[in-house]
Structure 1
């Protein structure tokens, strides 16, 4: 899996599928990396799929915090240009969903459609993110681990499918990288810009998601005329793990309906 050398940093990217496959760009959320998408990639073998580790995450470089949302969007834009992806459907989860929205607003030539998975036009408030950043600065990633896992998986998080890998990736995330991306989230509100989008969009939510509740996801979806909304009953924040088939089938149906196959 190559490192993509951009002018000021290196991003760890992973490309799978046939060169002539319909392109997908997968953008993970805060405290994870591109491996979050493995189960979905396995279920979409005919597509050309680019996934990568956000700056400050996984094997990508970790510049000093804070990061701007504009820099995260620019990273995705430059990766698409480097790999040569156009007319791409972008699937963004959590923080990755905001990056996806921003990329679509900025570069409609690159983005043909969106899958906004367990995300919103704004997630949380600045004061909440600043408090979490302070805790990470003081106690490292372990300081927020249990709280985040419960928000993602619910009260029975210790028995959640995929917990071991998710937990390990969260704890391995550099505190500087987490704080940098959390700062980007802290200052981002895309309600007005996302409302200008006119493109195919599927929004996915889970009734058991404590991080981005279904009503918040639906509110964002309703900003985009003609959107599709999929509610996965009983699903937590990471249905690509515990509900992999149902999650992939919803995305396959959407891709088929818009002819992105």
Structure 2
């Protein structure tokens, strides 16, 4: 059964969320990347086991969520994710975050350990880029729009097997359809984030996933962040870039399933 809901935040922003699966199923929460919607995860869903309670949402400024004027803070993005989980009474979830979604995952795990029992940190880091890089991107997109930046974004996102193919077209369109206020607002949140210290204090199961051709968060950066958490695991997906769940959905899903099993998240 699928349920959709708009969760209204204290500042009036509405966050769009979608949940599927049985009420008592093991919870898995997915948080997507800058410039994408909850549909980022569509391709992997058929490869996941039945019986999971799967929660996806559009972060503020993206998809069907509202796009207030920015800048946004990482604290806001984390609180939005928290509110979405609370709205559906999610506890002890496996939280899967990609790129900025992985930053949200780290922050939420520190803030609300009751919500998250294990983390999947895909193509992300405790700190991504530097303030000047993000300010330059904000300035360019504010002046020229996302269509002017979308090809460069695609080159960072996708490996050489996927870039330029017809399969890339809907992803380019998704970026270009993103609100400029929403995109640049989240850029500002990333620019101000450094989670090295809080993430190094986490003591929960964690899996890092990287793509060999990722131009945004290279494998060494992902591994460095994952290694902050004692006992963590790391998986490298070859011939994939920043969105391996799009380019290699079966392999990505298999890593999730293996991690579900290793952490006891799937019920016998």
TM-score category by the smaller chain? over 0.9
Q: Paired residue for 2:31?
A: 27
CA 1:135–1:155 in structure 2 vs 1: closer, same or farther (change >3 Å)?
farther
CA 1:160–1:96 in structure 2 vs 1: closer, same or farther (change >3 Å)?
farther
Note if contact 1:160-1:242 (Cα within 8 Å) is conserved in structure 2: no
Q: Do structure 1's residue 213 and structure 2's residue 218 form an aligned pair?
A: yes
SS at the partner of 1:20? coil
Note if contact 2:95-2:105 (Cα within 8 Å) is conserved in structure 1: yes
Q: Matched residues in 2 for 1:239 and 1:154: separation?
A: 9
Q: Matched residues in 2 for 1:161 and 1:120: separation?
A: 30
Give the superposition deviation at 1:132: 0.3
- 1:61 maps to which of 44, 60, 66: 66
- 2:6 maps to which of 3, 8, 11: 3
Q: How does 1:181-220 map to 2 (within 5 A)?
A: 181-220=186-225
Give the superposition deviation at 1:18: 1.5
- 2:42 maps to which of 38, 45, 48: 38
Question: Is there any run of 5+ residues in structure 1 with no aligned partner, and where?
Answer: none
Note if contact 1:90-1:114 (Cα within 8 Å) is conserved in structure 2: yes
- 2:147 maps to which of 117, 142, 151: 142
CA 1:155–1:258 in structure 2 vs 1: closer, same or farther (change >3 Å)?
closer
Q: Paired residue for 2:243?
A: 238
Number of paired residues?
Answer: 261
Q: Matched residues in 2 for 1:32 and 1:182: separation?
A: 13
Q: Matched residues in 2 for 1:99 and 1:162: separation?
A: 28
Note if contact 1:161-1:242 (Cα within 8 Å) is conserved in structure 2: no
User: TM-score of the superposition, structure 1-length normalised?
Assistant: 0.97
CA 1:24–1:209 in structure 2 vs 1: closer, same or farther (change >3 Å)?
same
Give the superposition deviation at 1:4: 2.2
Q: Paired residue for 2:253?
A: 248
CA 1:144–1:157 in structure 2 vs 1: closer, same or farther (change >3 Å)?
farther
Give the superposition deviation at 1:160: 4.5
CA 1:120–1:41 in structure 2 vs 1: closer, same or farther (change >3 Å)?
same
SS at the partner of 1:130? helix
Give the superposition deviation at 1:155: 5.3
Note if contact 1:161-1:241 (Cα within 8 Å) is conserved in structure 2: no
Q: Matched residues in 2 for 1:151 and 1:160: separation?
A: 15
> For each residue in 1:47-69, what CA deviation from the matched residue of structure 2 results, as whole angstroms up to 9, or x when unmatched?
10110000000010111100000
Q: Matched residues in 2 for 1:241 and 1:20: separation?
A: 28
Note if contact 2:208-2:226 (Cα within 8 Å) is conserved in structure 1: yes
Give the superposition deviation at 1:157: 5.4
> For each residue in 1:43-88, what CA deviation from the matched residue of structure 2 results, as whole angstroms up to 9, or x when unmatched?
2232101100000000101111000000000000011111000001
User: TM-score of the superposition, structure 2-length normalised?
Assistant: 0.94
Q: Matched residues in 1 for 2:223 and 2:165: separation?
A: 25
Note if contact 1:162-1:242 (Cα within 8 Å) is conserved in structure 2: no
SS at the partner of 1:183? helix
